[in-house]
Amino acid sequence: INTLNYTNDPDFILIGLADSKEIQLLILSVLFLLIYLVTVLGNTGMILLIRLDAQLHTPMYFFLTHLSFLDLSYSTVITPKTLENLLTSSKSIAFSSCFIQMYFFVLLAATECFLLSSMAYDRYVAIRNPLHYPVIMSTRFCSSLLTGSYIFGAMDSSVNMLCMSTLNFCNSTVIHDFFCDTSPVIALSCSDTHGIEFIIFMFAGSTLLLSLTTISVSYASILSTILKIKSTSGKRKAFSTCASHFLGVTVFYGTMIFTHLKPNKSFSLGKDQVASVFYTIVIPMLNPLIYSLRNKEVKSALSRVIQKRESSKQ
């Protein structure tokens, strides 16, 4: 058996989308390119808008800035290489590049899980303790939550990489996916992966469980508080404060849980690939739309920035 490890083999072959017909590949290329352009413009625009408008310099928008950065980053880790493989006859990715792509994807995705938890806690404090909100969600505390999100994300990704680096690959290096995700790469290995799968599953599960528990407890408490509000306008305002974040969380975690919280050997090219396309390429585009189209503060800030630019030209 020809056994390969990550130090001596130059290439993996990504064929996740390559079995489509030429016209389908062209359509996918144009679609992914448009989605990526919207992702870059939307997330970059959100970051710049929050930076430029002083009224958005609050904890909620501090976290939203970094959410946009994470979405922009992990879309960039995946989409350009996917577009290259769609548009060229070469479907290869260097062995080292594959593992680098996997490392940064897990790092950014895990960090986003913890960041979404921090955002849920921020909304909890805003609804439950509005008078003490500025004191509790201080700049220092928000920075600590953000730093912790990156640290836990880096730990998750590092453990994932340490496990993956011990695998051997026999004969086939053909990945039945459009990027180097953990599940389809493990599915190629001829090593005994039960122990590695268990460790990766435990860390991924712990990340999702901890972040989802924080979000669930926060929103259960928020809902309880909102239901106690007597005025209809008060309830509507409270719901609108949390609606965008709750929608973003539901979409993100739904696809992540479907793809990752199961044994890696059960990777399915069809359903799993659709879910992977959704959370790696589509969701980073949707988040700035969700948080801007449903948010009056963002719309008002955009109007103020445009008016300021127009008045400065005069």
Extents of the domains making up the chain: 3-313
Residue 109 amino acid letter: A
CA 290 from centroid of its chain's CA atoms: 14
Q: Tokens 């965008």 map to which residue?
A: 244
* Of residues 270, 249, 220, the one with CA closest to residue 16: 270
Query: What are the DSSP calls for 278-313, one per residue?
Result: IIIIIHHHHHHHHHHHT-HHHHHHHHHHHHHHHHHH
How far apart, in whole angstroms, are the C-alpha atoms of residue 115 and residue 231? 32
Q: What confidence tens digit (pLDDT) does each residue in 24-82 have?
A: 677 888 899 999 999 999 999 999 988 988 888 899 899 999 999 999 998 999 999 88
Residue 216 tokens read as 């669930």
Residue 297 tokens read as 């503060």
Question: What angle in degrees, to the nearest 10, is found between the helix axes of 194-228 and 139-164?
Answer: 160
Residue 92 has pLDDT above 70, yes or no: yes
Query: Count of CB atoms within 10 A of residue 28's CB?
Result: 18
Q: What confidence tens digit (pLDDT) does each residue in 140-198 have?
A: 999 999 999 999 999 999 999 999 888 888 777 788 788 888 888 888 888 888 888 88
Residue 271 has pLDDT above 60, yes or no: no
Residue 35 amino acid letter: I
Residue 23: pLDDT band with limits 50, 70, 90: low
Percent of the chain scoring above 90 in pLDDT:
29
pLDDT, mean over the chain: 82
Predicted confidence at residue 204, as pLDDT, reads 83
Residue 73 amino acid letter: S
CA 150, 154, 116: angle at the middle one, nearest 5?
A: 40
Predicted confidence at residue 258, as pLDDT, reads 66
- In this structure, are residues 281 and 76 in contact, taking their beta carbons and an 8 Å threshold? no
Residue 212 amino acid letter: L
Mean pLDDT computed over 279-297:
78
How far apart, in whole angstroms, are the C-alpha atoms of residue 57 and residue 147? 18
- Please give the CATH number for the structural domain made up of 3-313: 1.20.1070.10
Query: What are the DSSP calls for 238-275, one per residue?
Result: HHHHHHHHHHHHHHHHHHHHHHHSS-GGG--HHHHHHH
Residue 20: pLDDT band with limits 50, 70, 90: low
- In this structure, are residues 141 and 236 in contact, taking their beta carbons and an 8 Å threshold? no
- In this structure, are residues 185 and 267 in contact, taking their beta carbons and an 8 Å threshold? no
How far apart, in whole angstroms, are the C-alpha atoms of residue 120 and residue 123? 5
